[in-house]
Structure 1
Amino acid sequence: MPSARPQTDVNRTAILAHLGAHGPASRADLARALDVSPALVTQLTRDLLADGLLEELEQSSSNGGRPARLLGLVSQDATAVGVKVAPDHLALVEVGIDGAVRRSETSPFDAISPLATSALVDQVRTFVQSPEAGRILGVGVGLPGTVAERGIGVVDSTQLGWNQVPLGELLRRALDLPVVVENNVNALSVAEQLFGQGRSFRNVLVVTIGNGVGAGLIADGVMVRGRAGGAGDLGHIPVEENGPLCQCGNHGCLEALIGQGALVQAARSGGVLPAGDGIDDLRALADGGSGGAREIFARAGHRLGRALAGAVNLIDPEIVVLLGEGVEAWNHWAPAFDRALRSSLVPGKRGTPVVVERWQDDRWAQGAAALVLATPFDAQGVAGDQGRLMRERLVASIEARP
């Protein structure tokens, strides 16, 4: 029987997040809200009370029977900083224990500049040292690429043009804070476990569409990272043997066919878009009834549906969550996607639900911040020493309250 230990860790963070968002609650209320057993909630809250993170409050009113004791957070001062790194911009957020954004900022960024890492470090340092900052537990960084060990943070990224960049070490040295670095889709998947559609499921496939195509897999409550942190490269599934060149160096990858750059290129080549126009213009044309623009999105939807059916057939998730910049045009992807997906699934998996979430750009940075919120209870040790340091800061933030 699989161990429940890793899922227990996520539930500890989820209890803190729920109480931060909704206020005091009884153990029975928590069990219902988080869709876990009352026995598990009793065990987890006992640990959180012993750590000094929760406190017993007054009894709740009762319609008969024994009144329930309410639990509340000892303090809501602890925060986490999340950083999204994209080829052309940075997005930073500071979130509370409930995952809600307290402040944010976005700025231009040139990932291929020789001074890129210095500029990134300077901006993050300015953000965390702001007078508005709370008691920061640590910094999470999400980016398009491979990170072999989250707590070390050495990055390989074709999108950013980075090879073996020691980003975690650079940030820790400059900030004097714990830092975890992760693939951006994996970071979003952690956020889905804590705050999103994946909260009630132990087997979730998170798929993002935008400049690239990525996937994050939660299996039996555990994030699947692969041998060196590279699991989930859905965008590099080979689709057309002699297809267009992908940024990874191969030809005919899914990403090279349905990423936003590929859609724009197809529209320009087909005379649908003039040179200089981009994905927003293509979406506007489709919204306005352009048959050529709609066909481009429909073809992308068909290809995504076929590829995703293969992934669902292989890993058998309980739910698929679709999000990313590309979902802003989802009404043009959806019909062809649905037909291709359902017709390509094996019969027993054709009922797998697919949920499309609304998108805001700071979701990437929120996902990176969720890494920090989940790390203090990381029993698997994925974050290495950074998990211990974040836990110490979490407990210290309680002890330092007025």
Structure 2
Amino acid sequence: MRSTVPPGDLSQSAVLALLGKSGPLGRAELARRLGVSAATVTKATRELIARGLVREMQSVPSEGGRPARLLGLASDGGQALGIKVTADRVTGVLVGLDGEIADSFAFPYEGREPDAVQRLVEGLAPHAQGARRRLLGIGVGLPGGVDLADGGAVDSPMLGWFGVRLGTALERAFGLPALVDNDVNTVAVAERLYGRGQEFSTFLVVTIGRGIGLAMLLDGRLYRGARGGAGEFGHWPVPNGDRLCECGNTGCLETLIGEAGLVATARARKVLSRNAGYDELAAQADQGGTGAREIFAEAGELLGRNVAGLVNVLNPGVLLITGEGVACWRHWQAEFQRAMRAHLFGMMRRTHIIAESLDDFGWARGAAALVLAVPLAAVHDYGRASAHIRARLAGAVNADD
């Protein structure tokens, strides 16, 4: 990865962005990748260290002379408040530039109440105000679509929100830039900053759990679509599907393989009693219950066949499957892989498939990454909000507000 800048014109933001994308590097490697002299890098990094944005880390062997010191992002040089919102709970984390969680919190929430936005502001106030001095901004991930991440309208059937301008409300309440996006998009942004997206510029994130989600990083940039609604994979139409979806349509993929869909199937087959839920279905599968395992295997087959279509069209380097449903992935996996491989075209069979679980704090870390990605990686440009975040990193975070 080489990012050439004009000689003698190295901005400190170029160093921050490269360290954000690549992880810790030595000064010589920074100079090589940026296409500038070692002296130019030394001057820029000296100032960044003095401002508390970059820190010296462990030494690594060099070709003669003293061991080279790696430079990395300082966790407390600038922070973002990341919020994961669901219909009944809010989870928050304070995340440093290096992606490490410095603090976390959670509180119960009634997302469908008429004053839900005001209650969210009140619940966040102690955390946003307490960390304000170094906060670059607030990131929020939630189930649903957002036409513009910086102040746009949120449409979320799960929350009962339609046209809600949450970002604008947060900016007015706290005087901080606020970015709001679909929660699966936020996970993809975090992967771009701190995970496999550092190695693969095109990758897909598919989430399984209450719903079925999708995010697409294409050539290093988050694809949001014309109105911010790209990635509604849970509403992919399934042939012969007849179940009513939360969105108002029938035959959506998640009506069959989302948590509620799996439970509905289990009840219809008498695998579960009328009052039992998803946890009981998972427990039965873990204990070897044939009926429960068949339901998960069928879900894996259906997911694999449909994901194969995505892979054939988009050719990602990596497919990451995550979300709370991955706790039962071993019951999905065999049929998923069989069905997916059977429908992949030629070279697409080389796509890496990774499954890993994600808790609410991981979702919230993704929301924080919306803010941290602005100075550290060109994932998406949010116009005025991006400029505000960069300005705070440049100086406002070092002064009392």
Q: TM-score range by the shorter chain?
A: 0.7 to 0.9
Amino acid at match of 1:86: T
* Contact 1:54/1:73 (<8 A) preserved: no
**In the alignment, which residue of structure 2 is the partner of 1:39?**
33
* Contact 2:325/2:357 (<8 A) preserved: no
Q: Distance in 2 between matches of 1:381 and 1:351?
A: 28
Q: Distance in 2 between matches of 1:87 and 1:124?
A: 16
Aligned partner of residue 374 in structure 2, secondary structure: helix
Percent identity between the two aligned chains:
44
**In the alignment, which residue of structure 2 is the partner of 1:343?**
342
TM-score (norm 2): 0.86
Which residues in structure 2 correspond to 1:289-300 (within 5 Å)? 289-300=288-299
TM-aligned CA distance change 1:73 to 1:206, over 3 Å:
closer
Amino acid at match of 2:76: Q
* Contact 1:189/1:216 (<8 A) preserved: yes
Which residues in structure 2 correspond to 1:2-401 (within 5 Å)? 12-13=16-17, 15-16=19-20, 25-27=25-27, 38-40=32-34, 46=41, 49=44, 52-54=47-49, 62-64=62-64, 68=68, 70-71=70-71, 76-130=76-130, 135-376=134-375, 382-396=381-395, 399-400=398-399
Q: Distance in 1 between matches of 2:380 and 2:43?
A: 19
Aligned partner of residue 76 in structure 2, secondary structure: coil
Amino acid at match of 1:372: V
Q: Distance in 1 between matches of 2:297 and 2:283?
A: 15
Amino acid at match of 1:15: L
Structure 2, gaps ≥5 residues long: 6-12
Shift of the alpha carbon at 1:91? 0.7
Amino acid at match of 2:363: W
**In the alignment, which residue of structure 1 is the partner of 2:8?**
none
TM-aligned CA distance change 1:376 to 1:216, over 3 Å:
same
Aligned length: 385
Shift of the alpha carbon at 1:12? 4.1
Q: Distance in 2 between matches of 1:324 and 1:390?
A: 29
Deviation per CA, 1:37-59, whole angstroms, max 9, x where unpaired? x4248699959928943469799
Shift of the alpha carbon at 1:258? 0.5
* Contact 1:145/1:183 (<8 A) preserved: yes
Shift of the alpha carbon at 1:136? 1.2
Shift of the alpha carbon at 1:151? 1.3
Deviation per CA, 1:19-40, whole angstroms, max 9, x where unpaired? 6xx6xx4145679xxxxxx424
Shift of the alpha carbon at 1:240? 2.7
Deviation per CA, 1:315-372, whole angstroms, max 9, x where unpaired? 1111101100110000000011011100011122122111112322211100000111
TM-aligned CA distance change 1:232 to 1:74, over 3 Å:
closer
RMSD: 3.2
Amino acid at match of 2:341: R
User: Quick check: 55-64 or 319-328, which moved more?
Assistant: 55-64
* Contact 1:202/1:219 (<8 A) preserved: yes
Structure 1, gaps ≥5 residues long: 32-37
Q: Distance in 2 between matches of 1:166 and 1:271?
A: 43
Aligned partner of residue 391 in structure 2, secondary structure: helix
User: Quick check: 292-301 or 392-401, which moved more?
Assistant: 392-401
TM-score (norm 1): 0.86
